Structure 1
């Protein structure tokens, strides 16, 4: 879905709901991947924006280049299942993986098939300046990104190759990627991956190329990683908060991410246990009957262990709330309800009806009262927000019994 830059108004207010996108794309004779399941991109500018689209409750299984191509702003991507395990068989001409040597060399593909990343939001050059990059304020929430396969032409088997600015990535599950679960990266010469709010996600068992093979993919493997090419200022200053980043290979947060991004209150201790209901499914083959459940069980060290997303600026009351950083919150982008927020130490909530994110001012549906420096979060239970993608509700149903854990599959 794109605009050729010659019409009026761009592509806006579309809803993609409850669709199944399966097995779209191919490998060319010269071993490049082609085909995108859903594209909201092309000539997104101030005059021809592709804003205010909703992608909800869809299933994406098998995409050659991407499942979702997004080069525009103010869209909401929520509640979708993405699976891109190896699915395009190798053949006599294309049966290897790239190794980034000079000159370039190759190694056999140990998976017997190709796949790819799930999505690279912001995958497009900004033009001649960063100011012409129009991919701000997208919201990715409540999605499951499970399994990636090796591309035929590069090492980008990421969960999310994150190239937007000023967007929100929250409450997603990202597991079983061959490369990094999240990789801060950009395209072209001017675009930036900066000032995104990445919070309350689960990243588990990414970097599986360290178990199953792919030397070039191993170079960009981790739970969360950052490109080492032009890191500053193009891939920096992202807010990484309240995530559970656990048992990824070879590390949970790579060193460059810890230096270049603003990381707070993430659970990354592999010697501890967040007490997920189950971690089933590790490997590179998708089995819909053997999937993980990353909700927290009673007694989890991640319950009430999160920090506040933002803090109030000044004392006050009413429906206009100034905070130190409003990038964590969404007003719904004209297509869904805005966020329900809750202040530290209070039970009252209010809905964000508008977010002046350039000036850090939230406009609320009902009045609240606050003091300077008081914590602001989405709705939470207990004394503070939880870490991870699922807020534990002690007043909810009893904890289900955890299924037995499984060991990684053998290389086929």
Structure 2
């Protein structure tokens, strides 16, 4: 059941699945059609780009105690925080009556009271009400015995107030779980050197912060999970700074000044199954830690191996240039962007290079995405400084065009600045509604047909297709190929085997297309298949420099044999959905 809130802008309520007081509580949330399918982890055949509730990921951090906040009934022996208590604490709290006397639970009137006594493995239920105090845990949990701070089942406690740096603060503490809490009209959450924590099913609304402090921010914090939350109405709503091997999954993130998600000098993070929408500016950004990042020392060429999959990037600000309103403004290294939907943004994906934080846009792999209905361009390419960025099996269609200032007219599938030698485009679909139409435009220059552009740049652009993708319902957000679509079985393999052989160590010409779980507990690597065969195996480790995939089962291959994510049919499908 959705909770009614007064005095909050409608777009924040929409993002949170809430309604304003007095509104029809049965009204829809405005989700784009086709967003209900939960994708499988590891890229099994049939994976869709639709964000799911958990992306199919493996086990969460923390074991059984961590799940207490999702239980239908409170776990025995739990502690309670109840702001309605008359006394500061009692040892005979009755959870049913919300009063001391008649029970046997220990309860506190304040969050600070519970913080002072918790031990690893404790579960603390926070009762409904408004708490004008911060939550600052001081005792770490342990692997298998986290400290759990959970909303009492069926209730939505709210933390608020003018607290610095945030209403929830994690300073060097580990193994905490925050489940179902609301932080509203306050700075949200700050984590520093805080590892193995989980933030899930929480609602963060309406932050007064004007900078990058005071939102949901992780600084030098690793192995955390941010899952199933609503984060709306801040500035730089969620930031990972110098933070590695975190999972951001199944969240709804909306309406933020500057951006919704930022990864700065962070490595091996997973962003999966989220929905991003931001009419104020851009949705995501990925770059190094330059002069504008003060939380940590400058670090360059330091934002590597981040995975974005099964996300929706939509409804960004309409901006006069390619530098604003991006689905993702991207300048990382060795990243993977796959099976995402970029729709109704200013620019779907902006491959950027600029001083000083975005000088190293290198060795990224972008594949099986769809770029549809974006105002200025599906993809924009900065030329100078780009190194070995490869696009394969994507669909760029129905995008509107640059027309000098992102006015939504002209060849809008791909916008570029010369040179294009830092890119490789193979077997992507570029479609502007008619065969032979201009689909590519140089910024501040002329448009070009696909055939003419490939003839002019054969080393960078080759074997791309000009065809109607024939999705089931692109306007409604359903990007599954319809019967007879030219996308089916039309994709190229991602890599090729180097030399003939057999076993569990598969050398390939390019290992950067693949994911091995990044050493994150509960994550599994890609399932792959060899062209011309039916056998599959799971990737359990990758040596990216040597180009070797370690598999969980033995395969036999020939020199040059294609290697792809597992698929159905004769070959991989182009686009975000692999038909089963």
Taking structure 2 as the reference length, the TM-score comes to 0.52
- Secondary structure, aligned partner of 2:571: coil
Q: What is the deviation of 1:256?
A: 3.9
Structure 2: gaps (5+ residues): 1-189, 195-218, 402-411, 435-466
Distance 1:177 1:165 in 2: 23
Match of 1:158 among 317, 323, 326: 326
Aligned to 1:265: 427
Aligned to 1:346: 533
Q: Deviations over 1:161-191 (max 9, x none)?
A: 111010100000001112x211111353373
Match of 1:11 among 209, 221, 227: 221
Which stretch shifts more, 309-318 or 254-263? 254-263
For the Cα contact (< 8 Å) 1:122–1:186, is it kept in 2?
Answer: no
The structure number with the bigger radius of gyration is 2
Distance 2:318 2:233 in 1: 15
- Secondary structure, aligned partner of 1:305: coil
* Mapped pair 1:172 → 2:340: yes
Q: What is the deviation of 1:359?
A: 1.3
Aligned to 1:252: 413
Distance 1:153 1:319 in 2: 48
Match of 2:515 among 313, 324, 330: 330
* Mapped pair 1:238 → 2:393: no
Distance 1:138 1:183 in 2: 16
Q: What is the deviation of 1:2?
A: 6.0
Q: What is the deviation of 1:23?
A: 1.8
Aligned to 1:201: 369
How many residue pairs end up in the alignment?
315
Match of 1:124 among 284, 289, 302: 289
Aligned to 1:277: 472
For the Cα contact (< 8 Å) 1:125–1:187, is it kept in 2?
Answer: no
Q: Deviations over 1:367-399 (max 9, x none)?
A: 110000000000111111111001012xxxxxx
List, as ranges, runs of 4+ consecutive aligned residues in structure 1 with deviation greater than 6 Å. Answer: 151-154
Distance 2:496 2:416 in 1: 27
For the Cα contact (< 8 Å) 2:290–2:299, is it kept in 1?
Answer: no
- Secondary structure, aligned partner of 1:120: strand
For the Cα contact (< 8 Å) 1:124–1:187, is it kept in 2?
Answer: no
Report the CA distance shift for 1:80/1:317 in structure 2 as closer, same or farther (over 3 A). Answer: same
Structure 1: gaps (5+ residues): 25-34, 45-49, 86-114, 209-220, 281-290, 394-412
Taking structure 1 as the reference length, the TM-score comes to 0.72
Distance 1:267 1:357 in 2: 28
Match of 1:368 among 545, 555, 569: 555
For the Cα contact (< 8 Å) 1:124–1:188, is it kept in 2?
Answer: no
Q: What is the deviation of 1:123?
A: 5.0
**What are the residue-to-residue correspondences of 1:5-404 with 2, within 5 Å?**
10-24=220-234, 35-41=235-241, 44=242, 50-71=243-264, 72-85=266-279, 115-125=280-290, 132-150=300-318, 155-178=323-346, 180-189=347-356, 191-206=359-374, 208=375, 221-228=376-383, 231=384, 234-250=385-401, 251-256=412-417, 259-270=421-432, 271=434, 272-280=467-475, 291-335=476-520, 336-393=523-580
- Secondary structure, aligned partner of 1:327: helix
Higher relative contact order (CA 8 A, sep 6+): 1
Q: Deviations over 1:181-237 (max 9, x none)?
A: 11111353373111100000000011x2xxxxxxxxxxxx32111125xx1xx2232
Distance 2:277 2:389 in 1: 26
Q: Deviations over 1:52-73 (max 9, x none)?
A: 1000000012111111010101
